[in-house]
Amino acid sequence: MKKELFGVTTGGKTVYLYTFENKNGMKMTVSDFGAVLTHLWVPGKDGQLVDVVLGYDQLAQYENNNNVYFGATIGRNANRIDQGKFEIDGQVYQVDQNEGENQLHGGFSGYHTRPWLVKEVDELNQKIVFLLFSPDGDQGFPGNLSLEVSYQLTDLNELIISYTGESDKKTVFNPTNHTYFNLNGHANGTILEHLLQLDCSYYTPVKDSKSIPTGEVLPVANTPMDFKQSKKIGRDINQIAEQLQLTGGYDHNYVLDETKQETEAFVHLIGDQTGISLKGYTNLPGVQLYTGNFIEQEAGKNGVNYQKYSGLCLETQFFPDAVNQVNFKSPYIEENVQTVYETSYCFDA
């Protein structure tokens, strides 16, 4: 493991980068600022390492990472809450409204913009554990929440991200990771020619451009939303279809098929230039497919200006606005019950 200085925050906190390398030469770099993933180098079909995640070179950019959320650990609640309001056991809670009337990705002070403690570094297993304490009332949510996020790079070329949460009150616990993947390399154009397969027969449509779900769970069959069979991401993205027009491309929650086991991949993504493939596994019920529709001239790593469709996110999660939707799985955890969610991405060429 290599530890190096990343910089000092505006609040005076010294921040570091931690780089791990497996026996195959694959490398990941994460930071104790925001528990963000900054780099992920994967061997391509020619054996050359390719950095397949979008990100920044400067700490100051991560401090202001509230538009695109590159590499971010999101909490307490991934995605959107309608009107920033919900109810637990008869008590109404009003949380930050940082996207118009909605809350998005935890509010104005998301977990991705805070320093985290390093709880453990396991060099033998190429793993690091970050710890964050979120006090009662933080972002408007109830309960003192202790959250651990771990990143592990295995010798099977897996990136494993796990989230462990425990609160002294019933609360929302719906973390995710907001990394943007481009399997051709972060600097190599768009993801429109990538081949994508999602083992999801249903998705949750949105009401309007505010991207709050209607509450319906609709089949993807015979719609542009269908990725049950592998297809190019760009094949249907510009179709005249209401859901795609509302969100400027794909920005929708897909429902993992109920029959799926955690040991079965919910996604298979292939980079058209490098041949690098990604398979994803999770114990969460949904995944937000976001194709970077709102990236505009974003100054990224190595002097690259990222554009629309420069990367895509596969944000495993409870469904958007699940706190207000009775037919969606609940994102609540009970008091003093430790809860663990895990997502892994396995790479090959």
DSSP H or E run through 258 = none
- What is the rounded end-to-end Cα distance, in angstroms, of the chain? 24
- The confidence score (pLDDT) of residue 73 equals 98
Instruction: Confirm or deny that 339 is annotated as ligand binding.
Output: no
315 is catalytic: yes
Instruction: Confirm or deny that 251 is annotated as ligand binding.
Output: yes
The dihedral sign for the CA sequence 110, 294, 330, 73: negative
**CA 89 – CA 318 distance, rounded (Å):** 19
Instruction: Confirm or deny that 309 is annotated as ligand binding.
Output: no
Q: Is the pTM of this model over 0.95?
A: yes
Instruction: Confirm or deny that 102 is annotated as ligand binding.
Output: no
> Per-residue DSSP letters for 279-348?
EEEESSSEEEEE--TT--SEE-GGG-EE-TTS-EEEEEESPTTGGG-TTSPP-EE-TT--EEEEEEEEEE
Q: Which of 148, 166, 298, 315 is catalytic?
A: 315
Q: At which residue do the structure tokens 């009107």 appear?
A: 83
Q: Give burial (CB, 10 Å; 0-12/13-18/19+) of 243.
A: middle
Q: Which of 39, 112, 178, 186 is catalytic?
A: 178
| Beta-bridge partners for 20 | 28
| Spatial CA neighbour of 312 closest among 349, 345, 263, 264 | 345
**Predicted confidence (pLDDT) per residue in 303-321, tens digit:** 999 999 999 999 999 999 9
- The confidence score (pLDDT) of residue 263 equals 81
Instruction: Confirm or deny that 188 is annotated as ligand binding.
Output: no
What the chain holds in terms of domains, given with CATH numbers, is 2-348 (2.70.98.10)
Instruction: Confirm or deny that 57 is annotated as ligand binding.
Output: no
186 is catalytic: no
**Predicted confidence (pLDDT) per residue in 230-288, tens digit:** 999 999 999 999 999 999 999 999 999 987 677 899 999 999 999 999 999 999 999 99
